[in-house]
Amino acid sequence: MNFSLSENQQMIIGTVRDFAEKHIRPNVMEWDESQTFPVEVFKKLGDTGLMGVLVPEEYGGAGLGYFEYVSVISEIAKVCGSIGLSLAAHNSLCTGHILAFGSDEQKRRWLPKLASAEWIGAWGLTEANTGSDALGMNTTAVLEGDYYVVNGSKNWITHGKSGNIAVVMVRTGEKGDSKGISALVIEKGTTGFAHGKKENKLGMRASETTELIFDNCLVPKENLLGKEGEGFKQAMYVLDGGRISIAALALGMAKGAMNAAVNYSKQRYQFGQPISSFQGISFKIADMATEIEAAELLIMQAADLKNRGAEVTRIAAMAKYYASEVCVRTATEAVQIFGGYGYTKDFPVEKFYRDSKLCTIGEGTSEIQKIVIAREVLK
């Protein structure tokens, strides 16, 4: 496998890096403190084509592949994990689900608006009492004439309040039946569709997270993605790609935390020399660098498989599991290198420390990734 970047890929990375420095870095802590979801930034990202990285040009997207996609996510995440997370959720989940399973008419109806960020996308699988146990969902959809009547709620939904459109998994059959779940596209303003409370989170505070509420919500039957009963299978496929994006998110934050720690260790003097010259500090940096390199290789392997349309479940789970755990370890050690300063909001590693933990939980916990990996290895 050749993971060297082409001239075009290098240009894309440079463009994203410049965008992050200009439009994101100056506002990172303000957005974090106020829990502001900066919609205007995503509109600007839409102007650059980054809200539809994988969407073909015929549907208004950039028409790029997974190498470019993971590079975009990780470059943004080096500066702000929240913006990287929202970018990943919009691209991989909502947009990615419609791209993978929508009819041509559905793609032409929704993808151009998503790729341009005219509309922000959300995706709903998790419920209050059914996190990893997705087959136990309680949100139901009953077909009555030309409409599905949807009742229930979804939790931990990225862009649940500000999103203009959501792909939602609903139960159309028996609870516990993998063929009893379907995927519906529900637009903002649909009768009976509302958002609930916004979560007050430890980290990723500029990435909006809310409930979705359905009270006799009337969804046109033509908004069904694929066939009735295919929703769970579709969701698992979408999550495979989503796990690569979360791995890229973790990679970017790990790199951001390590870069901050390296720079600080060269500038901070104790006992007449930079602390980077002390073995205790240099060994921490060596471990960071090695684990980040290994995580990136796993992610690039997953991206290569995805580009080729090959089976990616095992490698995507490995990449997500390993990169997210590396991200937490790197952020933790970065705080340690900064010492007391690392515990304050005046330095960037404090935010990386808080943001990193989400990567071991969202889109399947580390424990779920181990189940997936073991199942794939043992089958």
Angle at CA of residue 362, ends 359 and 191, nearest 5°? 145
91 close to 52: Cβ distance less than 8 angstroms: yes
Options 58, 363, 367, 376, the catalytic residue: 363
Percentages (nearest 5) of helix, strand, coil residues in the chain: 60, 15, 25
CB contact set of 104 (below 8 Å; sequence gap of 6+) = none
Rg (CA), the chain: 21
Active site residue 363: yes
The DSSP call for residue 91 is I
Query: What tokens appear for 35 in the block?
Result: 């829990």
**SS3 of residue 103 by DSSP:** coil
Tell me the C-alpha distance between 60 and 155, whole Å. 30
Q: β-strands 140-144, 209-220: how paired?
A: unpaired
CA separation for the pair 316, 86 (Å, rounded):
19
Query: Of 77, 71, 70, 68, nearest to 25 (Cα)?
Result: 77
Catalytic center residues: 363
